[in-house]
Amino acid sequence: MIFIIAAVILGLDQSVKFLLSKNLSLGQPIPIIKNIFYLTLVHNQGAAFGVFKNLTFVFVLTAFVVVILIIRDLRQVKKVNLYALSLALILAGAIGNLIDRLRFGYVIDFFDFRVWPVFNIADSSITIGAILLGWIICFRKSAR
């Protein structure tokens, strides 16, 4: 079940990236909620917020290691719980951005709130998963 959740998130991420890449012009913002939320197609060659540009090999290698470690850990999880969900979210996001880097050499971003760097579904998935995992580590006696 947990791998199905990751696959659904990954499918959504890749589908939206495909649709927006075909229908938006690079860097041209489309207002959804004027002065608050836009769709802006951005090609991010760096890490989060565009830092560390042109280190694609390092990002790809890191993502491969993370994906392998998460899959290994998820195979040992006996039931769907917050720990497994947090790993599934991180896994889906890591694979989503990894696919972009391998296909294009950059990550496709599009959510633009103007007060934060442009991001995507995979980034959101990783962030939510990491916050959940941090909460579990800090406040639960047993993560599994």
Known catalytic membership, residue 109: yes
CA distances from 88 to 85, 121, 134, 138 (A): 5, 14, 14, 19
Asked whether residue 79 carries a pLDDT value surpassing 90, the answer given is no
Least confident of 15-19, 55-59, 72-76: 55-59
Asked whether residue 138 carries a pLDDT value surpassing 80, the answer given is yes
Q: Please indicate, yes or no, if residue 144 is contained in any of the structural domains.
A: no
Angle, helices 2-23 vs 121-139, to 10°: value is 150
Number of domains in the chain: 1
Asked whether residue 83 carries a pLDDT value surpassing 60, the answer given is yes
Q: Helix, strand, or coil here: 119?
A: strand
* Full-model pTM: 0.88
Q: Tell me, what's the pLDDT at 52? A: 64
Q: Please indicate, yes or no, if residue 65 is contained in any of the structural domains.
A: yes
Per the DSSP assignment, residues forming a β-bridge with 126 are none
Q: Tell me, what's the pLDDT at 55? A: 75
Using the structure block, give the residue that is written with the tokens 């991010």.
44
Known catalytic membership, residue 100: no
Rounded CA-CA distance 67/25 in Å is 31
Q: Please indicate, yes or no, if residue 86 is contained in any of the structural domains.
A: yes
Given the residues 13, 100, 112, 123, the one annotated as active site: 123
Rounded CA-CA distance 47/28 in Å is 21
Per-residue pLDDT tens over the stretch 85-99: 999 999 999 999 999
Domain span holding position 32: 2-139
Q: Please indicate, yes or no, if residue 102 is contained in any of the structural domains.
A: yes
Least confident of 11-25, 95-109, 130-144: 130-144
